[in-house]
Structure 1
Amino acid sequence: MIAETVCSAVSAAGLGIAAVTAYRKRFLAATRIAAYSLVPIGLVMTGVVEWLADTALSLTAWAGFGVLGLAWLLFMTTRVVERRRGGTRKERKAAREAARPDAVAPAASAPSLGQGQGSRPATRPASPARGDDDFSDIEAILKKHGI
């Protein structure tokens, strides 16, 4: 009951300030003040203030907020620990699989590829220079625009 009375008084005072502001020919500001001052009385009329007052004075509601806070804290703690460890179990397993060396050494199959001696890695043939191809595309674009 006290909360409803306070909200009504705040709304009445706000509407009075809006009237004084409108008297001074500041209609836009007066309209904004009137809108803000109607919010508390609207909340009283919809029952939100009564619900908030009951919630604020309820021990069960505060215990519920405490349980929600504890759940949030536990959730965030697990996220921090997970990040420090380097991800989830599946991610760590995939990382170990990727880091494990192959069963066959890369140089073991070199003789079957035709390289006779040593463990030199196979060299790739030199690829043709792509510079001419790039410039021909540019020249075609320039010719298209008449440059």
Structure 2
Amino acid sequence: MTAIICMALSALGVVIAVTTASRGRFRAALRWLAVALVPTGLYLTGLVTVFRNIGTTLADWGSHLVFDPKVWVGVVMLCATVLLLLATGVRAGRGRRRGKEQGEVPARGGKPGTPPGRAAGAALPARSEAPTADLGDFSDVEEILKRRGI
């Protein structure tokens, strides 16, 4: 029965592709032809039965989820795991390690956060005379910020 349905869907897609091609829309006709090959291809590869088994398995799991107390205990345990991991700051620990690997380690007595190679008391490079010269389109934004005192 599955084979008949898949081949009928493919035949319908081919009819639509031929009709579209007769109107002069060859690109759309090729798309319809590609879509028409999908149902028969899924049947011949056996994926239709795989998808049906997956659907049946998910439906069984869903019905057991509602009515089986053992499943609810498992759901509560998984939620508790996620909450405990978030509460202990797993994500914060990763962020600190990643920062050290990228080179934010202080260099020769410098403060944390200073770029490597720059001492704590080293002077910053001199700024250009016209700070808005290199901003391009953002010069009007800088003017608005200056007027507001930011």
Which structure is richer in relative contact order (CA contacts within 8 A, separation 6 or more)? 1
So what's the TM-score if we normalise by structure 2? 0.45
Considering fraction of residues, name the structure with more helix: 1
So what's the TM-score if we normalise by structure 1? 0.46
Give the number of the structure whose alpha-carbon radius of gyration is greater: 1
